[in-house]
Amino acid sequence: MATARVRQILSQVLDQHRDGTTLPGVLCELCARQLLVTGVGLALFTDAGHEGVVAATDQTAMTLEELQFTSGEGPCVDASRGGRPVLQPDLATTAPRRWPGFASGAAEAGIAAVFAFPLQVGWVRVGVLDLYRDTTGSLDGEDLTEALAFADAALALLLDLQELTPSAQDMHPNLADPVGRRPEIHQATGMIAVQAAVGLAEALVLLRARAFGSGRTVAEIAREVVNRTLRFDNGDEQT
Amino acid sequence: MTTDIDREQRLAATFVELADTLVAEFDIIDFAHTLIDRSVELLHADAAGLMLADQRGELRVLASTTEETRLLELFQLQNDEGPCLDCYTFGEPVVNIDLAEAEDRWPNFCAATTDLGFRSVHALPLRLRDELIGAMNLFCAHHSTLSEHDLALGQALADVATIVLLQERFVTHHEILAEQLQGALNSRVLIEQAKGIYAERAGITVDEAFTRIRTHSRNTTQPLSAVATGVIDGSISTSALTPADPTAVRSRH
């Protein structure tokens, strides 16, 4: 099962988390080791664009993020904007044409390949997970599946860091599927956004928090919302 | 024989219509809906869906002829058992399945499908050379047997879907495959979110919300994803999607 691997990654992240490290930082380290890439970075992206770096395994990974932050272009920027991965196994041949402002800086930093995975649930944009290599080369099919699992784990982590409770330490295993294979989850997210007069990102967090709080699955709660047996009205509801 | 000629004409029209959707900024979900709508007509089925592998180990619906929740569940169910899973796993068509005779093979799938009034099913692989990316699933309310001619036609439609989804006739890098598939699946999620928002604002079911979003997309010739985005960001008002009251003025904001 897809979510089993995501859950495993999240529990490893929680296990290895110590004072002085951050959860996103540990996730990036694990991802870099697991996928045999040189480094990994995690940046926040919203509709407004690049919102800053959350974690980076090394200085080059940090440079990769900063280059894109300052030039406003690059693989992660496109990944977030396009809502799909941007996989560049050989930057030297593709980057100068596509991202002239980013390409030279990346080459100087010794970045030869970048694989950017958007952390996204439909409209909801949270960030981008960037893997880089100092040599050219593709991710094979298994690597890709693994990278997508790390991206799902990073998404779950960032969504849950947005709320005060539950703390990530006792994250419910059912929350390990942020993408949500069931359409009701996304339909319910839309309905909750209207009911509680919040954005879709916050609606998704509310839905996940309710599942956590009641010890039930996100899909179960979502189904009740879609069937209109459960509502998420806020105090002063508007009509 | 007139029916054959009739069908040839409709087939030609279908390919023209599909080609017509392939403009520069084409919408993958729109294309998928057009393709399965026409597949249902040409192959005398009653419902159909396009399933894509999400590269995490699951099959997910990209488009289906009706968005009735119970039909969507039939697709979801096939992550455990069913013709789509077998078709995707082995890369071969699984067709002319009489549900009454398949109960041992897929007990849960058969029960749920029969419950919805279907009697036979077909599944055709979406395959590009060695790479399997999903399957097209057809449901029939009658006993349906696809002839060799039908099968070739169905597979041609599935092949068109594959080529367009990958946007490249010769995908050599699985990176491109991953970019396209993940992008398509994310568009699908966006539409589900828009269904929820509109259903809640208009006080209707999510199934009805989809019908209205799609009707609006057709009437205004905007891509489905654009209408979904408009519903989410509020640039398309709830009243704009409300079915026209014959006495009402044509447009209002």
- Residues B17-62 have pLDDT tens digits of 777 766 666 788 888 998 999 999 999 999 999 999 988 878 999 9
The model's confidence at residue A237, banded by pLDDT at 50, 70 and 90, is: very low
Give the pair of three-digit tokens for residue B241.
């999607």
* b/e per residue A189-226 (b: at least 16 CB within 10 A): bbbbbbbbebebbbbbbbbbbbbbeeeebbbebbbebb
Give the pair of three-digit tokens for residue A176.
């390990």
Output Rg (C-alpha) for chain A, integer angstroms.
18
Residues A165 and B124: their CA atoms lie apart, in Å, by 46
Residues B128 and B130: their CA atoms lie apart, in Å, by 6
Q: Return mean pLDDT, chain A.
A: 86
What is the arithmetic mean of pLDDT over B96-116?
Answer: 94
Write the pLDDT tens digit of every residue in A31-68: 999 998 999 999 988 777 777 888 999 999 999 999 99
ipTM above 0.90 for this complex: no
Interfacial residues of B (vs A; Cβ cutoff 8 Å): 54-58, 60-61, 69, 72, 76, 79, 173-176, 178-180, 182-183, 186-187, 189-201, 206, 229, 232
Whether residues B186 and A118 touch (CB distance < 8 A) is answered with yes
- pLDDT number for residue A238: 39
The percentage of chain A sitting over the pLDDT mark of 90, rounded to a whole number, equals 53
Residues A186 and A222: their CA atoms lie apart, in Å, by 8
- pLDDT number for residue B66: 84
**Which residues in chain B touch residue A82, judged by CB atoms under 8 angstroms apart?**
183
The model's confidence at residue A88, banded by pLDDT at 50, 70 and 90, is: very high
Q: State the nearest Cα–Cα gap between B103 and chain A, in angstroms.
A: 25
Cβ atoms of A159 and A10 closer than 8 Å: no
- pLDDT number for residue A100: 93
Which segment of A149-153, A160-164, B164-168 scores lowest on mean pLDDT? A160-164
The model's confidence at residue A175, banded by pLDDT at 50, 70 and 90, is: low
Residues B2 and B183: their CA atoms lie apart, in Å, by 42
Partner residue facing A189 (CB), from B55, B173, B193: B193
Give the pair of three-digit tokens for residue B197.
């928002």
Element (H, E) at A142: helix A141-161
User: CA-based angle A20:A22:A24, to the nearest 5?
Assistant: 160
Alpha helices in A1-140 (DSSP H): 2-16, 23-35, 59-71, 75-82, 91-98, 100-108
Residues A85 and A131: their CA atoms lie apart, in Å, by 11
* Cβ neighbours of residue A122 closer than 8 Å, sequence gap 6 or more: A186, A189, A200, B186, B189, B190, B191, B192, B193
Residue A230 in contact with partner chain B when CB distance is under 8 A: no
Residues B174 and A48: their CA atoms lie apart, in Å, by 30
Q: Output the pTM of the full model.
A: 0.81
Residues A15 and A52: their CA atoms lie apart, in Å, by 26
Whether residues A226 and B60 touch (CB distance < 8 A) is answered with no
**pLDDT reading at B177 higher than 90:** no
Q: Return mean pLDDT, chain B.
A: 86
**pLDDT reading at B183 higher than 70:** yes
The model's confidence at residue B174, banded by pLDDT at 50, 70 and 90, is: confident
**pLDDT reading at B145 higher than 70:** yes
The percentage of chain A sitting over the pLDDT mark of 70, rounded to a whole number, equals 88
